[in-house]
Amino acid sequence: MSFLRGLLDELRDQLETEPLTITAAQVAEAADSERLNVTLPGGVMNRLKQQALAEGRSCSSLATFLIEDGLRRHAMLR
């Protein structure tokens, strides 16, 4: 038990003496995925909702797939 107590004390000391200086940009850069806020015209959003419902998936999942597919196709056209 004294070994664990020593580790706990050491961790507390480090947290108290070394302030965390991670910026929001560093967190976002390190993330495997990021959130994107997009405003869609009403007609496009309705079509996205209908298609997602027909495929039994979320709007977010379908939008991710469509963006990835569009990027692949765009690269092939160049």
Domain with 53 in it: 2-77
Count up the domains in the chain and report the number.
1
Three-state DSSP at 42 gives: helix
Average per-residue pLDDT in the chain? 85
- CB contact set of 40 (below 8 Å; sequence gap of 6+): 48
Helix (H) or strand (E) holding 75, with range, is helix 59-77
Contact 59, 49 (CB under 8 A): yes
pLDDT in tens, 47-78: 999 999 999 999 999 999 999 999 999 888 77
For residue 44, give the 3-state DSSP assignment: helix
**Whole-prediction pTM:** 0.58
- Report the C-alpha gap between 33 and 35 in whole angstroms: 7
